[in-house]
């Protein structure tokens, strides 16, 4: 795993905007950063793929343990939702996608930092934007990214298994959220799903019927580095601000690999409907990957 410098494409901003990425710059600094890229060997990509499958199985086993031992309360899940979770698990409902955040330097085994099993953050970047960058910049090289194809397969299966309208919700006024969810919806439309967009703020609850509703009263169904504290030998060495206040998750400290003595790289490994199908890389000068950490493409 190596980090290389390269020249951005001419008019790269217009190029990525034409592909749906209007949030490519934050506070005047590129969030999508194609002035550098990471190169992997075939062996390293294989290691990431194998680790993703192993972690997926471990997480599924952990869910089974939580249900067998009746531990949902420990995750602060309200009791009125316990039955829904058990029913979903027992019916083996299909998952769509998730992202394992990994610490990996190409030599040691990948280590799991976090499993984002319900977030689309950085999906468009990983599935579409970096793939087009590869075609333009290094057409003879490869990239570990079949996310789009796997999403299309997953939505086709869901369209057959669960006919009816699918709602795609995003936070009103958040361009990144809207465009990422719009990408998900676009793939679902290609797969033949009946879809509709909705703002999260417009989702309501009908107490009498016990259903979520849209504006027409029809039935519908610690993030990015916030509130992190890092301790070494009992001493606080790094803390980040954030809006969250409540029980904390404790885990062994695992430093991200450092490149050029400056850049910490976090690998997001995507899994779609059980298939390990691609990676995206976020980097920062801080060891904590945050909301504004840059997305950097990769090749192998």
pLDDT confidence bin for 200, thresholds 50/70/90: confident
Decide if 204 is inside a domain: no
Decide if 41 is inside a domain: yes
State the pLDDT at residue 177.
87
By percentage, how much of the chain surpasses pLDDT 70? Answer: 97
Name the 3-class secondary structure at 265. Answer: strand
Closest among 274, 281, 271 to 147, alpha carbons compared? 271
pLDDT confidence bin for 16, thresholds 50/70/90: very high
pLDDT at 221 over 50: no
Decide if 215 is inside a domain: no
pLDDT confidence bin for 245, thresholds 50/70/90: confident
State the pLDDT at residue 217.
65
Selected residue with higher pLDDT from 33 and 164:
33
Selected residue with higher pLDDT from 248 and 289:
289
Pairing of strands 25-26, 29-30: antiparallel
**Alpha-carbon span 196 to 184, nearest angstrom:** 11
Decide if 218 is inside a domain: no
Task: Please give the structure tokens belonging to residue 276.
Answer: 């390990």
**Alpha-carbon span 238 to 1, nearest angstrom:** 26
* Tens-digit pLDDT profile for residues 24-79: 998 889 999 999 999 999 999 999 999 999 999 999 999 999 999 999 998 888 89
Contact (Cβ atoms closer than 8 angstroms) between residue 101 and residue 52: no
Element housing 137 (H / E): helix 130-137
Range of the domain at 119: 2-96+105-146+225-293
DSSP 3-state percent helix, strand, coil across the chain (nearest 5):
35, 25, 40
For the chain, what is the domain count? 1
Look up the pTM and report it: 0.85
Decide if 173 is inside a domain: no
DSSP 127: I
**Alpha-carbon span 154 to 72, nearest angstrom:** 28
What is the pLDDT of the chain when averaged over all its residues? 90
pLDDT at 222 over 90: no
Decide if 202 is inside a domain: no
Closest among 36, 32, 284 to 293, alpha carbons compared? 284
* Tens-digit pLDDT profile for residues 168-189: 988 888 888 898 899 999 999 9
Decide if 44 is inside a domain: yes
State the pLDDT at residue 32.
97
Decide if 168 is inside a domain: no
């Amino acid at each position: 795993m190596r980090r290389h410098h390269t020249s951005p494409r001419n008019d790269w901003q217009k190029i990525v905007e034409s592909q749906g990425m209007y949030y490519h710059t934050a506070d005047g600094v590129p969030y999508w950063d194609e002035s550098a890229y990471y190169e992997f060997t075939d062996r390293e990509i294989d290691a990431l793929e194998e680790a993703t499958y192993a972690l997926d199985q471990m997480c599924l086993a952990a869910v089974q343990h939580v249900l067998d031992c009746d531990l949902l309360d420990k995750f602060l899940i309200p009791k009125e939702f316990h039955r829904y979770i058990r029913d979903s698990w027992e019916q083996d409902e299909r998952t769509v996608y998730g992202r394992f955040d990994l610490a990996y330097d190409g030599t040691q085994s990948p280590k799991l930092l976090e499993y984002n099993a319900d977030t689309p953050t950085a999906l468009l970047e990983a599935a579409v934007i970096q793939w087009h960058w590869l075609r333009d910049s290094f057409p003879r090289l490869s990239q570990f990214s079949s996310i789009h194809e796997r999403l299309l397969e997953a939505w086709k299966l869901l369209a057959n298994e669960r006919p009816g309208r699918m709602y795609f919700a995003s936070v009103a006024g958040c361009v990144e959220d809207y465009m990422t969810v719009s990408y998900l919806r676009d793939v679902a439309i290609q797969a033949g799903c009946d879809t509709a967009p909705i703002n999260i703020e417009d989702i309501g609850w009908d107490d009498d019927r016990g259903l979520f509703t849209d504006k027409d009263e029809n039935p519908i169904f610690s993030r990015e580095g916030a509130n992190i504290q890092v301790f070494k030998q009992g001493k606080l060495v790094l803390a980040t601000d954030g809006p969250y206040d409540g029980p904390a998750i404790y885990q062994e400290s695992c430093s991200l690999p450092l490149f050029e003595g400056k850049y910490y790289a976090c690998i997001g490994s995507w899994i779609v409907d059980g298939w390990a199908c691609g990676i995206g890389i976020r980097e920062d000068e801080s060891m904590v990957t945050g909301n504004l950490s840059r997305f950097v493409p990769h090749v192998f």
